[in-house]
Structure formats: structure tokens, C-alpha cells
């Protein structure tokens, strides 16, 4: 708890340190920016003063008489005054590469500013011929004509680029009037580079101060964090040890910590309860090998070695037999692994003796059940054989009876006898049908259910029936149903009944749709006469049949093997509609592209 208190005390210190850091950074940055701005301003003023000085020196060498001799038109090109002034500007500009343009400008009576002469050779694309109007004249330039005061301006932009310019009026020595203006242009980019160079030291100093401050604070905070982490780690370790002991003691299973030399360094109370040993026995340096059944000992010693030398090959769980202090033998499920970064292992022992006894009993019961099942299967096979032989013999006798009844009918002349004979034939036919039903019913459930492709099953059964006048549509995609192998009789019965009882039937359609809450419904629909409302449920009962007998009764039984149901839900007079409800797990779709 003391450590947690120290951590809590340290938090305000860290917050105060951050606050002072922010203040110090702001002060340094503001001071640095102020120094930088002052440096920039000083350098700008210095450069402007230097540019004005250079322009003044050039202006002092210019003869006002030559300037007055110019007209500011193309005719000046042939004037010796023009040539002297142009050569003077070109020579001065070549001696000072920082100056990009030198020029003399005049102003007409209407205020238009024009070029007298510039420092560019005629072949230069930047050349301005005498008299060319300078339409970009600024207010500063215009004021120089009117006030006669020298000045600087810029950066300003014209057709030739962006410049910082010095402007020095040229005055008539007699009248004192401004007759021209001498201008010198310096590239604004070069101008700004020089200013940036001048301000760089103050920027670097500012950044270095901020960097040194941040480094100092970083190391200070890192030390604080390390102290906090160390304090927290110590508290966490103590808490983890306490939690570990609590879990170890109360896990509900016997637990051991095993040293490399096989001695037990720690065991919980469940271990003592399981083995009968005490803490005093463990404190004496007891080895786990002392309570292992001898037939299991060699394997476990090998696992103990492998776990430390080749841990990836060691078993993490296996069974062995443990000898208790009283000499009893218990079956144990051992779960064991290495403690990280150590040669010790931790083991969990679960007593499965009762489970082993139960498994042995279950094996005995399973053997008995298997024996009884074999006996029942053999008995069932014998009964089926007896049923088949008996059914075959009965059907043969019924065939004989039917044959003699037909002969009797043919030889009898009495109308009353004919009626009796017809009833006897019908009764014999009913007996034959019921005997055949026993064969089908006997086969239901005799084999395990399997998956059936419903579309293929329907098409195969339709091929066995005269459906040439009926349009069959099967919209079942790749649906498969899990059902009794007699499933084909279900769809054969539906198709055969449709042909036999549908009368006006011309179309049969099979489709499906998913059901809310899971499962799906497979639907048979035709356009025949349909099923009368009073017979919708009766057609599935064994007592109700036409012609073939028990088709729909068998169909419902076959479907019920895997939990499916069938009902008739059509509208009488508009066709029969059979709906097969298929639960989840008994349908699937395969090879869907």
C-alpha cells in the first residue's frame, strides 16, 4: 500500500513538470520568433539601405544633360546620349550581379510612365525599347516623380517577375524638377534567401533550446516512469504471488510444483487429501517418483527428462497410477507443463479412478448390448425370412384362388352367382394388397438414412410413369434430403396418384422455400381436380386407400423416420398441393455455382 501511495504522490509532480514544460516551450518559442522577426526586419532594412546607396552612386554618375537630350521614343536609339546612358547601365549591372535590372523612366504630361533606357541588350527578351509604356507603375513609383524623394518598394510583381526595387529621382540641376527616375530591381527570391540566411542563427538557437528542454524533460519523465514501473511491478509481483497461491490452493484439483531433480517444492491441500501425505513429508524433499506405480515409473521419468531437454516432444497430458501413503492405487489424469524461464514444472492431478470403473462397466454393458443386438438382429432376420416365405406362399395361394374364381365366373350362368363371385374376387384382391403392404412396411427403417438428390429422384421416378401429356417442372436447385432409403416411394406415390386421380391434370411442379425459424418446405402442386376437404387428412390413414392401397400412409411413415412431415393443403377443384416440412439438419445444397 505504501508503494501505491508513492505512485499517487508522484502524479502531481509529473503534472506540474508538464505544466512548466509547456510554459518554458512557449516562452522560448515566442522569444525566438520575436528575435527572428527583429532579425528579418533589420536585414530587410539593411538590404534596402544598401540597394539605395548603390542606386544613388549610379545616379550621381548620370548626366542630366544626357537625360534631357532623350525624347522617350524610338528616335532615341540613334542618339549618342541614349547609347552612353545604356552602356553605363549595362556596365554597372555587370559589375553587380545581385541587381537584375537598371533603368531610367520618364513621365508624360498625362501621367503615363515610360522607359528612357534600360540595362538589357536589344536581343534580350526582357529588353524595353525607349518610349515603352510601363503600365504596372505603382503608387510609390508615381509619388517619386511628384515628390522627388528616393525610396524602396516591394516585393511587387510585374510582367518580368517579382522584385524589390530602389527608386531615385533624377532632377534638373537648374530647375530642381524631376526629369526621370532611376530604378534598380533585385529578384525577390534572392532577397528573401538573404533574409532567411540572416534569420537562421536565431531559428537554430530557438530550436536547440526547445530540443535541449525536451530532451531534459524526456529523461526526467523516463526516470520517473521507470521508478513508477519498478514500484508498480513490485506491488504487482506481490499481488500475483498472493493470487497465485490463492488459485493454487483453491483450484479444486491436486497441484504440484516439481524441481528438475524430481523433488516436490510445493503442493496444495488437494494433493495431501488425494495422497495422504502431509506438508511435513514434502518439506523433507520428497520425490514424486516415490508414489508412482512401478509399471508407469520408467515412462514418467523419460517424460520428465524430455520436458526439460526437448519440451516440444513432451506429452502435456497422460494417465498414470499413483500409490497413496496407505498403499492404495488411484488412476490419475496428469496435466503438466514447464513454468516459463525455469527448470520447474507445474502439474495438475485429477483422480479418474471412479471414471475408470464406470468406463469398465460401460464397456461390459456395451458388450452385452452388442450381444443382445446381434441376437435381436438374427431373430429379426429369421422372422423376416419367415415372413417373406409365408407371404410368398400366401400370395401363391391367393393367385390360385383368383384363378379358380375367374374360371368359376366364366363357367357360371347364374347372374346371382356372378355377383357373389365378383365380391369374392374383390376380397381376394384386397387380401393380396394388404399382404403386399406388409412387405413395404417391413422394409421401412431397415437401413440407415442417407442423402438423396431430390431432383434426380423425381426425374427417375417420372421416367417410370406415362407423363407424356403432363408438363413436369422441378425447381429444387441442388437440394438433398436426409431420409430413409425408401424415400423414392414417396415421390413415386405422389406422381402415380396424380396420374390416376387427377383426371384433368396437365402440369406438375415441385419447388421449395425456406421457413421462418429454420427448415424448409418442399411443395408438390398440380392442376388436377384436387382433394376434397373432408379427405385431406383421411388420405394419410391406413384405412383409407384407392387402388394401390397404402401409398400415402407409407409416405408419411417413411418421411417420419428423419423427422419430416407431409400434409395436403390444396384448394379442391384447383389441384392437389402436398407440403413436406423438412427440419434443420435433414437438408443441404451441394455444388451450387
So what's the pLDDT on residue 376? 63
Sheet holding 520-526, edge to edge: 471-474, 507-514, 520-526, 577-582, 565-568
Q: Categorize the per-residue pLDDT at 494 as very low, low, confident or very high, splitting at 50, 70 and 90.
A: very high
More confident residue, 150 or 592: 150
Paired with 184 in beta bridges are 102, 166
More confident residue, 102 or 266: 102
DSSP symbol at 312? G
So what's the pLDDT on residue 39? 82
**DSSP strand E in 19-160: where?**
101-107, 113-118, 151-158
So what's the pLDDT on residue 6? 41
Please check the confidence at residue 497 and state whether its pLDDT lies above 80. Answer: yes
The answer to whether 140 and 149 are in contact (CB under 8 A) is no
Mean pLDDT of the chain, nearest integer: 84
137 by DSSP, 3-state: which?
Answer: coil
Sheet holding 254-258, edge to edge: 264-267, 254-258, 345-351, 329-338, 317-323
Please check the confidence at residue 463 and state whether its pLDDT lies above 50. Answer: yes
Please check the confidence at residue 7 and state whether its pLDDT lies above 60. Answer: no
Residue 17 CB contacts under 8 Å (≥ 6 apart), including other chains: 217, 220, 221, 224
Query: For residue 503, is it left (φ>0), alpha (ψ between -120 and 50) or beta?
Result: left
DSSP symbol at 571? P
**DSSP strand E in 67-150: where?**
101-107, 113-118
The C-alpha atoms of residue 230 and residue 510 are separated, in whole angstroms, by 75
Q: Which of 65, 157, 48, 178 is nearest to 113 (CA)?
A: 178
More confident residue, 580 or 357: 580
The answer to whether 477 and 511 are in contact (CB under 8 A) is no
The model's pLDDT over 387-423, given as tens digits with 9 standing for 90+, comes to 665 666 677 778 878 787 777 777 777 776 777 777 7
The three cell numbers locating residue 496: 402415380
Give the CA radius of gyration of the chain. 57
More confident residue, 390 or 582: 582
So what's the pLDDT on residue 35? 82
Across the range 59-72, mean pLDDT stands at 88
Please check the confidence at residue 481 and state whether its pLDDT lies above 60. Answer: yes
Q: Categorize the per-residue pLDDT at 82 as very low, low, confident or very high, splitting at 50, 70 and 90.
A: very high
Residue 73 CB contacts under 8 Å (≥ 6 apart), including other chains: 130, 131
- The string of DSSP codes covering 243-306 is HHHHHHHHSSSEEEEE-TTSBEEEE-HHHHHHH---HHHHHTT-BGGGGB-HHHHHHHHHHHHH
**Hey, which CATH number is domain 446-589, 3.40.718.10, 3.30.565.10, 3.30.450.40, 3.40.50.2000?**
3.30.565.10
DSSP symbol at 133? B
Sheet holding 151-158, edge to edge: 113-118, 101-107, 178-187, 161-171, 151-158
The C-alpha atoms of residue 49 and residue 151 are separated, in whole angstroms, by 9
The answer to whether 35 and 41 are in contact (CB under 8 A) is no
The answer to whether 165 and 185 are in contact (CB under 8 A) is yes
Please check the confidence at residue 529 and state whether its pLDDT lies above 60. Answer: yes
Distances (CA, A) of 189 to 161, 163, 196: 10, 8, 10
The C-alpha atoms of residue 436 and residue 424 are separated, in whole angstroms, by 18
Q: Categorize the per-residue pLDDT at 467 as very low, low, confident or very high, splitting at 50, 70 and 90.
A: confident
Looking at the structure, give the CATH architecture of the domain made up of residues 252-351: 2-Layer Sandwich (3.30)
More confident residue, 422 or 72: 72
Domain 1-250 matches domain 252-351 at the CATH topology level: yes
| Percentage, residues of the chain above pLDDT 90 | 32
Q: How far is CA 325 from the centre of its chain?
A: 57
The torsion angle over the Cα atoms of residues 499, 505, 510 and 516, rounded to 10 degrees, is -120
Model pTM score: 0.38
The model's pLDDT over 310-367, given as tens digits with 9 standing for 90+, comes to 989 999 999 999 999 888 899 999 999 998 888 889 899 998 988 888 888 888 888 7
The answer to whether 518 and 583 are in contact (CB under 8 A) is yes
The C-alpha atoms of residue 168 and residue 151 are separated, in whole angstroms, by 7
Q: Categorize the per-residue pLDDT at 550 as very low, low, confident or very high, splitting at 50, 70 and 90.
A: low
Looking at the domain that runs over 1-250, which CATH code has it been given? 3.30.450.20
Paired with 264 in beta bridges are 258
The C-alpha atoms of residue 60 and residue 64 are separated, in whole angstroms, by 10
Q: Categorize the per-residue pLDDT at 547 as very low, low, confident or very high, splitting at 50, 70 and 90.
A: very low
**DSSP strand E in 329-376: where?**
329-338, 345-351
So what's the pLDDT on residue 549? 46
Residue 475 CB contacts under 8 Å (≥ 6 apart), including other chains: 509, 510, 511, 512
So what's the pLDDT on residue 386? 56
So what's the pLDDT on residue 36? 81
Q: Within 10 Å of residue 405's Cβ, how many Cβ atoms?
A: 18
Residue 562 CB contacts under 8 Å (≥ 6 apart), including other chains: 449, 481, 482, 483, 484, 586
Distances (CA, A) of 265 to 150, 257, 274, 284: 100, 6, 17, 10
The model's pLDDT over 13-65, given as tens digits with 9 standing for 90+, comes to 556 767 777 887 788 888 878 888 888 888 888 888 888 998 888 888 888 88
The model's pLDDT over 266-296, given as tens digits with 9 standing for 90+, comes to 888 888 888 888 888 888 888 999 889 999 9
So what's the pLDDT on residue 432? 67
Q: In the chain, where are the structural domains located?
A: 1-250, 252-351, 358-441, 446-589
The answer to whether 549 and 436 are in contact (CB under 8 A) is yes
Please check the confidence at residue 8 and state whether its pLDDT lies above 50. Answer: no
The C-alpha atoms of residue 247 and residue 482 are separated, in whole angstroms, by 49
| Percentage, residues of the chain above pLDDT 70 | 87
More confident residue, 234 or 1: 234
The answer to whether 125 and 137 are in contact (CB under 8 A) is no
3-class SS string, 164-179: EEEEEEEECCCCCCEE
The C-alpha atoms of residue 81 and residue 69 are separated, in whole angstroms, by 7
The C-alpha atoms of residue 371 and residue 377 are separated, in whole angstroms, by 10
Across the range 95-119, mean pLDDT stands at 91
Please check the confidence at residue 1 and state whether its pLDDT lies above 80. Answer: no
Q: Categorize the per-residue pLDDT at 127 as very low, low, confident or very high, splitting at 50, 70 and 90.
A: very high
So what's the pLDDT on residue 97? 87
The C-alpha atoms of residue 505 and residue 502 are separated, in whole angstroms, by 5
The model's pLDDT over 146-195, given as tens digits with 9 standing for 90+, comes to 888 999 998 999 899 899 999 999 998 888 889 999 999 999 898 888 88
The C-alpha atoms of residue 416 and residue 69 are separated, in whole angstroms, by 161
Please check the confidence at residue 568 and state whether its pLDDT lies above 70. Answer: yes
The C-alpha atoms of residue 474 and residue 216 are separated, in whole angstroms, by 82
Please check the confidence at residue 2 and state whether its pLDDT lies above 50. Answer: no
Q: Categorize the per-residue pLDDT at 476 as very low, low, confident or very high, splitting at 50, 70 and 90.
A: very high
Amino acid at each position: 500500500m505504501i508503494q501505491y501511495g508513492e505512485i499517487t504522490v508522484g502524479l502531481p509532480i509529473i503534472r506540474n513538470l508538464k505544466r512548466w514544460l509547456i510554459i518554458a516551450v512557449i516562452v522560448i518559442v515566442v522569444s525566438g520568433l520575436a528575435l527572428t522577426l527583429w532579425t528579418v526586419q533589420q536585414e530587410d532594412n539593411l538590404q534596402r539601405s544598401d540597394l539605395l546607396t548603390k542606386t544613388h552612386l549610379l545616379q550621381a554618375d548620370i548626366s542630366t544633360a544626357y537625360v534631357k537630350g532623350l525624347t522617350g521614343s524610338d528616335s532615341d536609339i540613334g542618339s549618342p546620349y541614349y547609347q552612353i546612358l545604356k552602356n553605363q547601365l549595362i556596365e554597372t549591372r555587370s559589375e553587380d550581379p545581385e541587381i537584375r535590372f537598371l533603368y531610367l523612366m520618364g513621365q508624360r504630361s498625362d501621367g503615363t510612365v515610360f522607359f528612357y533606357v534600360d540595362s538589357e541588350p536589344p536581343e534580350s527578351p526582357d529588353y524595353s525599347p525607349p518610349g515603352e509604356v510601363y503600365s504596372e507603375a505603382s503608387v510609390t513609383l508615381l509619388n517619386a516623380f511628384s515628390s522627388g524623394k528616393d525610396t524602396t518598394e516591394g516585393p511587387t510583381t510585374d510582367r518580368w517577375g517579382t522584385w524589390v526595387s530602389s527608386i531615385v529621382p533624377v532632377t534638373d540641376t537648374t530647375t530642381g524638377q524631376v526629369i526621370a527616375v532611376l530604378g534598380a530591381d533585385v529578384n525577390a527570391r534572392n532577397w528573401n534567401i538573404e533574409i532567411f540566411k540572416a534569420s537562421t542563427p536565431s531559428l537554430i538557437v530557438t530550436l536547440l533550446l526547445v530540443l535541449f528542454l525536451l530532451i531534459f524533460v524526456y529523461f526526467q519523465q523516463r526516470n520517473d516512469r521507470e521508478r513508477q514501473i519498478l514500484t508498480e511491478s513490485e506491488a504487482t509481483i506481490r499481488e500475483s504471488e498472493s493470487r497465485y497461491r490463492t488459485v493454487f490452493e483453491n483450484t479444486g484439483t491436486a497441484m504440484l510444483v516439481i524441481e528438475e531433480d524430481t523433488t516436490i517444492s510445493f503442493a496444495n491441500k488437494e494433493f495431501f487429501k488425494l495422497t495422504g501425505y502431509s506438508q511435513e513429508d514434502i518439506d523433507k524433499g520428497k520425490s514424486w517418483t516415490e508414489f508412482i506405480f512401478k509399471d508407469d515409473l520408467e515412462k514418467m521419468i523419460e517424460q520428465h527428462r524430455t520436458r526439460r531437454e526437448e519440451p516440444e516432444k513432451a506429452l502435456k497430458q497422460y494417465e498414470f497410477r499413483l500409490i497413496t501413503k496407505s498403499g492404495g492405487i488411484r488412476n490419475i489424469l496428469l496435466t503438466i507443463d514447464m513454468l516459463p524461464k525455469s527448470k520447474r514444472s507445474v502439474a495438475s492431478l485429477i483422480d479418474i479412478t471412479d471414471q475408470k470403473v464406470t468406463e469398465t462397466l460401460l464397456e461390459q454393458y456395451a458388450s452385452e448390448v452388442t450381444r443382445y443386438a446381434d441376437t435381436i438382429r438374427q431373430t429379426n432376420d429369421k422372422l423376416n425370412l419367415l415372413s417373406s416365405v409365408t407371404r410368398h406362399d400366401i400370395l401363391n395361394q391367393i393367385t390360385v384362388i383368383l384363378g379358380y374364381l375367374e374360371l368359376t365366373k366364366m363357367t357360371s350362368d347364374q347372374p346371382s352367382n356372378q355377383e357373389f363371385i365378383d365380391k369374392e374376387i374383390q376380397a381376394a384382391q384386397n387380401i393380396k394388397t394388404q399382404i403386399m403392404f406388409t412387405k413395404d412396411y417391413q422394409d421401412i427403417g431397415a437401413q440407415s438414412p442417407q442423402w438423396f438428390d431430390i431432383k434426380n429422384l423425381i426425374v427417375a421416378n417420372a421416367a417410370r410413369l406415362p407423363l407424356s401429356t403432363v408438363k413436369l417442372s422441378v425447381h429444387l436447385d441442388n437440394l438433398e434430403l436426409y431420409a430413409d432409403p425408401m424415400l423414392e416411394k414417396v415421390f413415386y406415390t405422389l406422381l402415380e396418384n396424380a396420374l390416376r386421380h387427377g383426371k384433368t391434370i396437365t402440369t406438375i411442379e415441385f419447388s421449395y422455400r425456406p421457413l421462418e425459424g429454420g427448415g424448409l418446405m418442399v411443395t408438390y402442386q398440380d392442376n388436377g381436380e384436387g382433394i376434397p376437404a373432408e379427405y385431406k387428412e383421411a388420405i394419410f390413414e391406413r384405412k383409407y386407400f384407392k387402388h394401390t392401397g397404402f401409398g400415402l400412409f407409407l409416405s408419411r411413415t417413411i418421411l417420419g423416420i428423419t423427422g419430416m412431415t407431409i400434409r395436403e393443403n390444396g384448394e379442391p377443384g384447383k389441384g392437389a398441393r402436398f407440403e413436406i416440412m423438412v427440419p434443420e439438419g435433414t437438408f443441404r445444397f451441394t455444388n451450387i455455382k
